[in-house]
Amino acid sequence: MVSAQGLAKKFNGRDVFKNLSINFEKGKLYGLIGPSGAGKSVLLKTLAGIFPPDEGSIDFDQNNLSLMFQEGALFDSMNVLDNTAFPLVNGRVPVANLPNSEKVEVVNKVSQILDRVGLTEATNKMPSQISGGMRKRASLARALVSKPEVVFLDDPTSGLDPVSSNIIMQLIKDLHSEYNPTMVLVSHDLRRLLPVVNSIYGLFQGELIFQGNLDELKKIPGGKLREFVSCRFDLDS
């Protein structure tokens, strides 16, 4: 389980969140929703150890976690193979320079995940040579190649066309089903997000105002959460 209690984080004297507690059960797929500026990305990065909390405690092994950044964050100077292999070899890229026995094992693991996300033919291409959707898939492959117990995905469909967004969300659902990590998915793309997650957290102005599944979300009365969701997803269907 991923557990955090009493978290607080400030930037420039402004509270992003305060006294926030949240739990993610092992093997479940979660959606973290809320308007822009609500603190979703900061919360993920705080849980991941990128931002230290100003207050509170985080209880899980952050060494067995992978984070897919909102912008993808591929290394421009590395091809898709080396980008994907990066967490497997603790940054000891290029893979071509590894000892032969290790290189064979790493290439095999990378080839499997790249095939799974449909990027076999892009293995030796640079990020600048592939489309935005392909870069997102490469980032997803990098996040999952080491099969971490916990995976945070920060807006993986941001900036993508509808077809690419469908592909990414289906891959997330399928890959989660295949090896069952605890996965937390931040997205404004509620039409694609809500049907695939097991549980949902609603974050508004640094405060968690909802926890439940989609059926429970559909039953919430009028208010800021229902208004926000209804603009992006049909709660009455």
Q: Give the CB-side neighbour count of residue 227, counting CA atoms within 13 A.
A: 5
Q: What is the H or E stretch that residue 112 is in?
A: helix 100-116
pTM: 0.92
Domain membership of residue 236 (yes or no) is: no
DSSP-derived 3-state class of residue 237: coil
pLDDT number for residue 173: 94
Domain membership of residue 235 (yes or no) is: no
Domain membership of residue 237 (yes or no) is: no
The domain in which residue 72 lies consists of: 2-230
Condensed to tens digits (0 to 9), the pLDDT of residues 9-51 reads 999 889 999 999 999 999 999 999 999 989 999 999 999 999 9
Whether a cis peptide bond, with omega within 30° of 0, leads into 94 is yes
Tell whether the model's pLDDT for residue 97 goes beyond 90: yes
Contact (CB, 8 A) for 74 and 127: yes
CA 177 – CA 3 distance, rounded (Å): 22
Q: How confident is the model at residue 62 (pLDDT cuts 50, 70, 90)?
A: confident
Domain membership of residue 141 (yes or no) is: yes
Average pLDDT over residues 164-171: 90
CA 166 – CA 191 distance, rounded (Å): 10
pLDDT number for residue 230: 94
Domain membership of residue 177 (yes or no) is: yes
Contact (CB, 8 A) for 31 and 213: no
Domain of 93, CATH number, reads 3.40.50.300
**Domains held by the chain: number:** 1
DSSP, res 211: E
Domain membership of residue 36 (yes or no) is: yes
